[in-house]
Amino acid sequence: MTPDVLCRPATVSDMRKIAQLMQPLVDQNILLGKEMVVLYESVQQFIVAEIDGEIVGYGALHVMWEHMGEVRTLGVIDRVRGKGVGHRLLTALEQHALRLGLSQLVSLTFEVEFFRRHGWRILPDAAPVVAADVYAELLRSPDEGIAEMLDLAHVKPNTLGNTRMLKTLRPAAAGSAPAAAGAAPAAVAGSTRENAERARDERLGDED
Ligand SMILES: CC(C)(COP(=O)(O)OP(=O)(O)OC[C@H]1O[C@@H](n2cnc3c(N)ncnc32)[C@H](O)[C@@H]1OP(=O)(O)O)[C@@H](O)C(=O)NCCC(=O)NCCS
């Protein structure tokens, strides 16, 4: 039976628990480890899933550029895996990305089938994540997760066996469930580059 899951924005008092729950996955090189200070700095990026008041899952959305964000640090405790908690978290992060006005999401993951079932596609190794001019800008980021996404040499050992995946977000059709209260409407029209990238994404999807 699907348990009652509450997905909500994380608070500072959740961050130590998230760090504790992440640790086994960090030890297995499945998630990128983060210092406590980095976790506190990124509290606004995190959501948590609770069952009966207990945190059983967590996930974060990191904005990379004007159109693109990364789903990262998504985890569900072993005891409740396969019950739809991951689905709830990923869906909430995707909806949040739409509300922020993002049109594409990427993630670096071993959980290819899970993401695929949510409409994500594999980004082939040779395929650039972003256009060359944006890539040059992203190189300026001090964020280690971005370095991993760009597959830079100094983080290469961390990314072995991981798959880069991508999803183009589409705002919900008119008449479907409304966005959360207070949410900004998602942008529908994209820039020329966004449209080009969306077309590329759709091509990749056809090859998938
Ligand atoms: C990826 C991860 C977050 C998924 O969490 P989860 O709670 O098990 O996810 P779900 O239950 O929604 O889906 C898992 C499977 O259970 C099945 N499932 C979903 N709802 C279900 C339900 N109510 N009952 C039974 N099975 C269900 C789904 O079909 C799904 O199959 P799939 O993986 O082939 O798509 C979890 O496996 C995890 O923590 N992995 C390690 C960390 C990681 O790699 N994170 C991703 C990179 S950031």
Tens digits of per-residue pLDDT, 169-207?
987 765 444 333 333 333 233 344 554 555 555 444 444
Average model confidence (pLDDT) across the chain: 84
- What is the reported pLDDT for 126? 77
Give a yes or no: residue 1 inside a domain.
no
Give a yes or no: residue 72 inside a domain.
yes
Give a yes or no: residue 115 inside a domain.
yes
Within 10 Å of residue 97's Cβ, how many Cβ atoms?
A: 22
Total tally of structural domains belonging to the chain: 1
Give a yes or no: residue 102 inside a domain.
yes
Please give the structure tokens belonging to residue 10. Answer: 């994380």
Segment 111-126 mean pLDDT: 94
Residue 59 CB less than 6 A away from ligand 1: no
Nearest C-alpha to atom 35 of ligand 1 is from which residue? 114
Closest atom of ligand 1 to CA, residue 87: 12
- Coil vs helix vs strand at 6: strand
Residue 107 CB less than 6 A away from ligand 1: yes
pLDDT band for 125, please (50, 70, 90 cuts). Answer: confident
Among 67, 161, 167, 160, which residue's Cα sits nearest to residue 115?
167
Burial class of 165 by CB neighbour count within 10 A (0 to 12, 13 to 18, 19+):
buried
Report which secondary-structure segment, H or E, holds 109. strand 104-109
CA angle in degrees (0–180, nearest 5) for 145-16-39: 25
Task: Give me the domain span that covers residue 144.
Answer: 6-207
CB 67 within 8 A of CB 104: yes
- Coil vs helix vs strand at 7: strand
Residue 4 CB less than 6 A away from ligand 1: no
Within 10 Å of residue 171's Cβ, how many Cβ atoms?
A: 15
Residue 101 CB less than 6 A away from ligand 1: no
**Going by C-beta distance under 8 Å and a sequence separation of 6 or more, which residues neighbour residue 71?**
59, 60, 61, 90, 93, 94, 105, 106, 107
Closest atom of ligand 1 to CA, residue 109: 47
**CATH number for the domain harbouring residue 152:** 3.40.630.30
pTM of the model: 0.83
